[in-house]
Amino acid sequence: MTEYFLHIAIISGLYIILALSLNLIIGYCGQVSLGHAAFYGLGAYTSALITIHWQVSFFLALPVAAVVAALFGLGLGIPTLRLKDDYLAIVTLGFGVIVDLILLNLDVTGGPDGLARIPPPRLGGIDFRDKVWYLLLVALVVAFTLGLISRLVHSRHGRALKAIRDHEITARVMGINASAYKISIFTLAAGLAGLAGSLYAHYITFINPESFGLHTSILVLTMVVLGGMGSILGSVVGAGVLTILPELFRRFADYQDLAYGAMLIALLIWRPQGLLGSGKISRKFSLAKNRAKKER
């Protein structure tokens, strides 16, 4: 039983990293990524492949996975985030489909069977097959992510990002390069998703493309909206709730996606600030409402 709770805690930790990073994109780029699971998958496959084929240590593979995912994020962000229109959602949706296609078709990724026997991390005498140690490892990365994001949000760059979020044109007038900021944030978020992917691969030790599809991207998006768009604590809570709830309602597993879809619409209509949204984002949305009318 303890094993089971540890497992849930570890999985929650991974989703917290994913939700936090997606929340960065939503809260600070004002756009949605539907390819977050693809970055997660890229991280998982990168880390798995280099540890299997080159016997690289997990502790080196983890940052490499993050960098690879971040580079893909940069490649997608540059053509998409320079533009005024909201193309990111559909471009990342397409990216997710392509990554899926490539993982299924390449020999090196094992096609639909995926990769098995991914080595669990080892450090000195510590064996991370013990779930307690793995949970500690995940908790460290979650803490790192939380620290990084809260430092970022409260720094000079964080203030620039808020200025862009609240009124992009004014921010540009003040000399803030909005596109560069958005692309950097998107790249960072992709890298964090890669980090989570690596942790997932070495925990489960078996991966296939199924775990990194649109379903997972939508799940993470629902976590962010449920917790509150733009709220750091909200993403943590949203990820926790949506990891634990499906475990309690195993019998209704077939209805999961249906519930997420309905939940997204219902939340946006009745509680757009989510469970823990401080109202900042909802105020932002009402600000944007007046602005949209004026600009039209």
We find the least distance from the C-beta atom of residue 177 to other proteins, in angstroms, to be: 18
Nearer to other proteins, 19 or 66 (CB): 19
Give residues in contact with other proteins (CB under 8 A).
26, 30-32, 34, 76, 78-80, 83-87, 89-91, 93-95, 97-98, 101, 105, 214, 218, 221, 225, 229, 254-258, 260-265, 268-269, 272, 284-286, 288-289, 292-293, 296
CB 38 within 8 A of CB 95: yes
Measured between alpha carbons, how far is 283 from 126 in angstroms, rounded to an integer?
48
Shortest distance (Å) from residue 269 CB to other proteins: 5
Q: Which is nearer to other proteins, 26 or 66 (CB)?
A: 26
Residue 192: CB atoms within 10 A of its CB come to 29
| Nearer to other proteins among residue 33 and residue 47 (C-beta) | 33
Smallest distance from other proteins to CB 263, Å: 7
Residue whose CB is less far from other proteins, 250 or 296: 296
Residue 270: count of CB within 10 angstroms of its CB: 7
What is the widest separation between alpha-carbon atoms in the chain? 64
C-alpha span between 18 and 217 (Å, rounded): 9
| C-beta closer to other proteins: residue 140 or 245 | 245
Is-contact 193 8, C-beta < 8 A? no
255 CB neighbour count, 10 Å cutoff: 11
CB of 287 to other proteins, least distance (A): 9
Q: Residue 189's Cα: distance from chain center in Å?
A: 7
Q: In angstroms, what is the minimal distance from the CB of 222 to other proteins?
A: 8
Element (H, E) at 122: strand 122-123
